[in-house]
């Protein structure tokens, strides 16, 4: 049986480098000044969410946006743009890495992030908060033998 557990899971994670400070500053400078935008970290990288949906973020030296089909195709047509794949073989389907050449054009970059915000806002809200106190059927089946032992 192969080894399992937290130590194995930690060893399997890729080694990522922090985003350059200049890119972090640029990202925050071009985020829309919209009260729905929630900046927060995802896997240690700065990202932006709307209604619980990530619509843009950083990953190492990349800035990525989540776009609908037509805009995604338009961005992918630009030299240097490519689908976002945080780990080899694990693409994030609706996300595109913005070409580094656009980092120098704040207006163009802000327009792509604005498009991503509008798309993210159009998606169903993700409910954030406490987990349901009622266990799922699978969890209940797992808990039953334990409860029998403790008499609860």
Whole-number pLDDT of residue 13: 60
Contact between residue 46 and residue 39 where contact means Cβ atoms under 8 Å apart? yes
Rounded Cα distance between 24 and 80, Å, is 20
SS3 content of the chain, % helix, strand, coil (to 5): 40, 20, 40
Q: Which residues contact 143 (CB under 8 A, 6 or more apart)?
A: 135
pLDDT of residue 39 exceeding 90, the answer is yes
Whole-number pLDDT of residue 86: 75
Strand 53-59, strand 45-50: pairing: antiparallel
Query: What's the pLDDT tens digit per position in 60-92?
Result: 999 999 999 999 999 999 999 999 987 778 878
Residue 38 forms beta bridges with which residues? 49
Q: How confident is the model at residue 131 (pLDDT cuts 50, 70, 90)?
A: very low
pLDDT of residue 98 exceeding 70, the answer is yes
Q: Which two tokens mark 55? A: 């619509």
């Amino acid at each position: 049986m192969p080894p399992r557990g937290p130590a194995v899971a930690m060893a399997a994670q890729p080694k990522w480098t922090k985003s350059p400070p200049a890119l972090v500053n640029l990202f925050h400078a071009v985020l829309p000044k919209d009260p729905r935008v929630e900046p927060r970290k995802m896997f240690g990288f700065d990202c932006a969410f709307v209604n619980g949906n990530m619509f843009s973020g950083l990953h190492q030296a990349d800035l990525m946006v989540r776009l609908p089909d037509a805009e995604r195709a338009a961005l992918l047509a630009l030299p240097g743009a490519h689908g976002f794949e945080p780990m080899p073989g694990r693409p994030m389907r609706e996300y595109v890495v913005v070409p580094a050449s656009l980092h120098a054009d704040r207006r163009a970059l802000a327009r792509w992030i604005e498009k991503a915000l509008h798309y993210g806002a159009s998606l169903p809200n993700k409910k954030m908060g406490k987990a349901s106190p009622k266990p799922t059927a699978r969890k209940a089946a797992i808990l039953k033998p334990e409860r029998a032992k403790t008499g609860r």
